[in-house]
Amino acid sequence: MRANRTPLYQVHRALGARMIEFGGWQMPVQYTGILAEHRAVRAQGGLFDLSHMGEIEITGPLAYAVCQELFVTDIARIRIMQAQYSVMCFADGGIVDDVIIYRLAEERYLVCVNAANRRTDFEWMVERNRGQADVTDRSDEYALVALQGPQAQTVLSQLTPHDLSSIRRYWAAQGEVAGVPTLLARTGYTGEDGFELFVPAERAEHIWQACSGAGGPSNLAPVGLGARDTLRLEAGYLLYGNDIDTRTTPLEAGLRRLIHFGAGSFVGSEALLKQQTDGIEKQLVGIRMEGAGVPRHGYTIWSGDQEVGVVTSGTQSPMLGVGIALGYVPPSCTDAGTPLAVAVRNRHIPATVVKPPFYRRS
């Protein structure tokens, strides 16, 4: 079966992008090179095609109640046009997916889900909904283009009459970009300031070209999935399928801050309450290499001569010049400063537990 293509597929080919299959989609992994694209986002700005992501809408008088049951966070805290990072869990506490919820109106929520989980998430929502609200997969209607980096607002301000400075982090606004109706969200996955633009799928190329033209090559470089991954890892953001999945819980993944047990009985709440009482056996931590060596997904983590865990995400940090990783270890190894080692090509390279993010703009 041929992988899906976003509305910007031909644009990527014209730009000379190297394409790969990711989550069932043909996506650009890089244009000029991962390192150059990463540094461009940190220094000026980057333009991303995120149209492979899914968008599921939950509407109606009972939409709030349905969302309160589906997600571990307190939905009552989301004001209209505000966004909230959350997760959905199975009854055993395992993670269905991590998502961003946008409350677009009193009884309307837009949930942005991971591309590979779009069908699973939609079916899970429909099953738990039990006909109470309208749950609609609108993924094919949207394209998602992101501008990220220090110049993102400057570039985007050339294309919209909206006062972008009025949109705070994790808030959104309905407006126009280059004459196209757009949901402008001040969200992102890079650790930089920026915007994610939800636009009609058929206008995706127009939006991309307008953003690219406004930014120019010096302020807004096209960026592929390769640099998106190194950027998010430097920022300490989790990747579903690597750092979290059905076999991990929010407590183990260091997401206790999201869970609001007092908001009612969400799916998985009983299991998570029990785990919080009994204690967890593993926890996700940040790891910084102290010796030369690049940690990769699947590499083993050691404490002395004992294997204690496994790397879930790892890379050589372009900004720090050292190896960084996320990985699961026992609670006894989670304190910042704890010495560990990562097995890289049969050599145990010294490393230290650190609290993410690994890189933060000063």
- Domain limits, the chain: 4-51+140-234, 281-354
Residue 153 binned pLDDT confidence (cut-offs 50, 70, 90) = very high
CB 273 within 8 A of CB 86: no
Distance CA 317, CA 308 (A): 24
What SS3 state is found at 85? Answer: strand
Note the pLDDT tens digit of each residue in 38-59. Answer: 999 999 999 999 999 999 999 9
Residue 1: its pLDDT value, please?
62
Q: Does residue 2 surpass a pLDDT of 80? A: no
CB 109 within 8 A of CB 67: yes
Q: Does residue 218 surpass a pLDDT of 90? A: no
Compute the average pLDDT of residues 99-107.
Answer: 98
Residue 263 binned pLDDT confidence (cut-offs 50, 70, 90) = low
The pLDDT mean for the chain works out to 97
Residue 166: its pLDDT value, please?
98
Residue 3: its pLDDT value, please?
86
Q: Considering only 162-176, 213-227, 237-251, 320-334, which range has the smallest mean pLDDT?
A: 213-227
Q: Which CATH superfamily is domain 281-354 in?
A: Aminomethyltransferase beta-barrel domains (2.40.30.110)
Q: Does residue 361 surpass a pLDDT of 90? A: no
Note the pLDDT tens digit of each residue in 291-346. Answer: 999 999 999 999 999 999 999 999 999 999 999 999 999 999 999 999 999 999 98
Residue 231 sits at φ, ψ, to 5 deg, of -65, -45
Mark 131-152 as b/e (b = at least 16 C-beta within 10 Å): eebebebebeebbbbbbbbbbb
Residue 216: its pLDDT value, please?
84
CATH of 4-51+140-234, one of 1.10.10.10, 3.40.190.10, 3.40.50.920, 3.30.1360.120: 3.30.1360.120
Q: Considering only 129-143, 185-199, 254-268, 346-360, which range has the smallest mean pLDDT?
A: 254-268
Express as a percent the part of the chain with pLDDT over 90: 95
Compute the average pLDDT of residues 284-296.
Answer: 97
Q: Does residue 262 surpass a pLDDT of 90? A: no
Distance CA 291, CA 11 (A): 41
Residue 215: its pLDDT value, please?
85
> Which runs of consecutive H residues, i.e. helices, occur in 118-163?
118-129, 152-156
Residue 150: its pLDDT value, please?
97
Residue 264 binned pLDDT confidence (cut-offs 50, 70, 90) = low
